[in-house]
Amino acid sequence: MPVNKLEDSKLKPLLGFSHQIQLQTVTVHDSRGRKLLENVSVEFKPGQLVGVLSSGRLQARALVELLMGMGRPSSGRLLFDGVPVDELKPNNVTRCAHWIASDGALVAGSVQDNLQPSAARRNKLDLNESLARSQLSEAVRQLPDGLATLISPGDDRLMGDTPFRLAIARAALTKASMFVMEEPAIHYDATMEQQTLDAMRSLVSPQAFTIVLPQRLLTLRQCDVLVMLHDHQLVACGTHAELLQQHELYRHLNYLRFNPFRGIAE
C-alpha cells in the first residue's frame, strides 16, 4: 500500500548505516504469494566479507534483495542500525546500497565513463586508488587510450573478470553503506581468481557491509562468514572450514559444485 503524505512525514530518513543489520524471524513471499524465506534470524556486521548461498536458486537472491531494500518482510522485523525498515522512508535503503553484477553492467563509452559518470567525477587520485585496489591498474594501462579507451558490453579486450572488477572499482567510488556482489560463475586461472578475490575484499571496511553471492571455492574459503539457506530457512552460519566440519549439507553441496572428478562417471 502506498504511503500517504501524512504517514511519510513520520518516517525517518536514512543517510547511511554502519553498525548492524538484523533479521528477526523474517518471512518473505514473492508477488505470487510463494514463500522465499521463512523465520530467518541473522545478523550482519560491517568489516566482514559475508557469503550468502542457498541450496535452491532463489533463496540467497531473495535475502540479498531484501537487504538492499527491494521489498519488505511479510512478517518479522528487519532493522538497520536498530531502526525497523518500516519506519524508514521508501527507497532509503536502496540508495545506500550498491549492486555489483557479475558482468560488470558496462555501458558503451570510455573506461572512465563506466567508472565515473560525468556528473559524479571525482579527483584522479580517488580513481587511481580505486583501480589499484580493484587490481585493474595494469589492465587499464594496456588499453590503447587508457581511461579514455572506448569500450562496450562484451568487449573482447576486457579479459576474464575485468568487467566485474571495473564494477567493483565503480562501487568503491560511491562510498555506499552496503556492497552486494554477484561473483562470476566462469572459472579462470588461479592468478585471476585471486586478483578478483582481492578486489572484492578491498571493499571491506569498518564502515560498510560487504556481501557476495559466491561461485568459487576460493571465495568460499576466504569469506569471513558464510550464511547458508536451505528450504527457505537459515540452516548454518560460519566459516568454510567450520561448515565443512559441522554441516553435512554444506559438504554435499561443495562436493557437487567443486569435485574435479564429478563428470568422469557420468
Instruction: Return the ∠ at Cα 114 (arms to 131 and 91), rounded to 5°.
Output: 105
The answer to whether residue 129 sits within a structural domain is yes
Low-confidence ranges of the chain (pLDDT < 70): 1-13, 118-125, 260-266
Q: Are 228 and 53 in contact (CB under 8 A)?
A: yes
Question: What is the tally of structural domains in the chain?
Answer: 1
Determine the pLDDT at residue 6.
Answer: 37
Per-residue pLDDT tens over the stretch 166-199? 999 999 998 899 999 999 999 999 999 999 999 9
Question: Cβ atoms within 10 A of the Cβ of 146, count?
Answer: 12
Name the nearest CA neighbour of 180 among 142, 152, 208.
Answer: 208
Stated length of the chain: 266
Determine the pLDDT at residue 125.
Answer: 62
Q: Are 168 and 202 in contact (CB under 8 A)?
A: yes
| Distance in angstroms (rounded) separating the CA atoms of residues 122 and 243 | 42
Q: Grid coordinates representing 93? A: 535503503
Q: Are 188 and 102 in contact (CB under 8 A)?
A: no
Determine the pLDDT at residue 121.
Answer: 54
Determine the pLDDT at residue 57.
Answer: 83
The answer to whether residue 8 sits within a structural domain is no
The answer to whether residue 182 sits within a structural domain is yes
Q: What is the CATH number of the domain that holds 149?
A: 3.40.50.300
The answer to whether residue 224 sits within a structural domain is no
The answer to whether residue 195 sits within a structural domain is yes
Question: Cβ atoms within 10 A of the Cβ of 137, count?
Answer: 15
The answer to whether residue 5 sits within a structural domain is no
Per-residue pLDDT tens over the stretch 5-37? 435 556 666 778 889 999 999 999 998 999 999
Determine the pLDDT at residue 258.
Answer: 85
Q: 162: domain range? A: 17-58+69-216+231-258
Determine the pLDDT at residue 151.
Answer: 95
The answer to whether residue 172 sits within a structural domain is yes
Determine the pLDDT at residue 118.
Answer: 60
Name the nearest CA neighbour of 62 among 232, 239, 186.
Answer: 232
The answer to whether residue 241 sits within a structural domain is yes
Lookup result for grid cell 579514455: 148
Determine the pLDDT at residue 259.
Answer: 78
Determine the pLDDT at residue 266.
Answer: 38
Name the nearest CA neighbour of 95 among 183, 10, 17, 203.
Answer: 17
Determine the pLDDT at residue 8.
Answer: 57
Determine the pLDDT at residue 120.
Answer: 52
- The alpha-carbon radius of gyration of the chain (Å, integer) is 20
Instruction: Please indicate, yes or no, whether the overall pTM of this predicted structure exceeds 0.85.
Output: yes
Strand pairing of 21-29 and 35-44? antiparallel
Name the nearest CA neighbour of 146 among 111, 186, 107.
Answer: 111
Lateral strand order in the sheet of 97-100: 97-100, 178-182, 209-213, 49-54, 225-230, 233-238
Q: Grid coordinates representing 75? A: 512478517
